[in-house]
Amino acid sequence: MSRIASFHSPRQGGLLQQRPRRLPVVSTAAASLLNSSWRRRRGGGRLLPVSSGVAHKQAPRTTEDATPSDQPGEAEQQFDWLDQWYPFAPVCDLDPGAPHGKTVLGLNLVAWYDRTTRGGGEWRVFDDACPHRLAPLSEGRIDGKGRLQCVYHGWCFGGAGGCEFIPQAPALGPAVHESSRACVGSYPCVVQNKLLWFYPRKEPEYKDVLRRKRPPYIPQIDDPSYFTEFVEQDEEGGVPIKAKIEQGSIEGFLSAMEGGNMRFQAPCTVHGTTSTDNAATASGKVSPLQFRLVAFCIPVGPGRSRLIWGFPTNVGVGLAKIIPRWFNHIVMNSIIDSDAYLVHFQERRYAAAGLHNWHKVSYVPTSSDSMIVAYRSWFRKYCKNQVGWATPQSIHVPPTPTKKEVLERYWSHVVQCTSCSAALKATKALEVFLQVMSVAVVGFLAVTKETLLTSAVQRAMAVSAAVLCFMASRWLADFIEKNFYFQDYVHAYR
């Protein structure tokens, strides 16, 4: 089984409203992933992505040094951001009984599970706006007939986006619900690799786009012999990594490393393998130990991205089945926090200098930097240093938020994660229970005095139990705050 961690940016006015995990624009967020280096942790043999901090003695590199490809005619190619599939969310975090709103590529979207389909239900992705008065459909509900219902005035929509019922329309009057103006924009979507994907074009000619083009497929995510291993944070610095950019084109590029390959598949997929996996491929044998990185960096809006990532491996599957998903997410949040605030400053400084001058304000002399250089080159060559937003967007990166806003966890992740939401409810209930127990024991001592607890030892034990319950509740409150709401990340103490 694969587990996928999801770190979300905000949906626009939807049922599960959230503030954004303010990751940078896709150009820097994806680049930050590509800038990670593989290393083995001492004693554990596990692969950890850490920032490279030790330089090689080699000639300085520039953006042009690692241009993915300069074949004749390729310079004129332009990457089409709207002719791509984008992950909406892991299906395990989508409740079939409620609509879910998110923003992708500047589009406000709502996903809902359509039970009106013959032969079983399926997920749909619509524009998150009712055509009546533009209320967000993600604030709505799934009605008794399995339709998406806007709660503002009760309009109901079927799986194809057509309006099926307007409560205010007279039963014997004209069928105003059949008008094309009563329809909601519907996007092609598909469930693949335990993710809900959508294609950002809703015109009729794109209805069957899945026949022509499918989302990137990672077979290990669906392989029952794999599970996703979430890594621990490495407290040491980086080491030199030899990397060579290969197979560069408008579709992405491959970076061959000593520890394994890293592939960037445009526009938002990063897929990594280890050296044992590569050796197995070369020999034609199945490697007994395989580790992979899978990450999707989804553009939301200027200065905002959504990150979904996991680490599939076929090692320790039995142990993985008993480790709660929320525990792994706590570890992953810490890894995200270690870079998030730093990358925000990086993005804004690049913007101030001009994205075409990024290599002039950054010094990237080592081969460990080759993937960030290759990505920036790809972004310059095929995208003109611009994301092809689906809707009009400001050309300016939003001001840097406070550190607490960047590192907050509840709206950016917990509220959208079924496992973390359940863990939060359970820990809050346990906290209340411990507080009630501590008060109850003290009250019991006050009422009974010496009638039931006759010895000093018994009374001391009861008092100790009350104190322990209170202390445990305080510890649990601190645990809840740090892991489900906010914990400052101070690199000096990590």
Q: Who wins on pLDDT, 450 or 475?
A: 475
Question: Residue 227's pLDDT band (boundaries 50, 70, 90)?
Answer: confident
Mean pLDDT value across the chain: 79
Which single residue is written with the structure tokens 């009712």?
130
- Quick one: pLDDT at residue 226? 76
**Average pLDDT rounded to a whole number, residues 288-292:** 67
Per-residue pLDDT for 102 more than 80? yes
Q: Who wins on pLDDT, 213 or 45?
A: 213
- Quick one: pLDDT at residue 63? 39
63-76 confidence digits (pLDDT tens): 344 444 444 455 57
**Average pLDDT rounded to a whole number, residues 253-275:** 83
- Quick one: pLDDT at residue 70? 47
- Quick one: pLDDT at residue 238? 45
- Quick one: pLDDT at residue 101? 94
246-261 confidence digits (pLDDT tens): 878 999 998 887 767 8
- Quick one: pLDDT at residue 33? 57
310-334 confidence digits (pLDDT tens): 878 777 777 877 888 898 888 888 8
**Average pLDDT rounded to a whole number, residues 367-372:** 84
- State how far the Cα of 375 lies from the Cα of 343, in Å rounded to an integer: 16
Per-residue pLDDT for 343 more than 60? yes
**Average pLDDT rounded to a whole number, residues 117-133:** 89
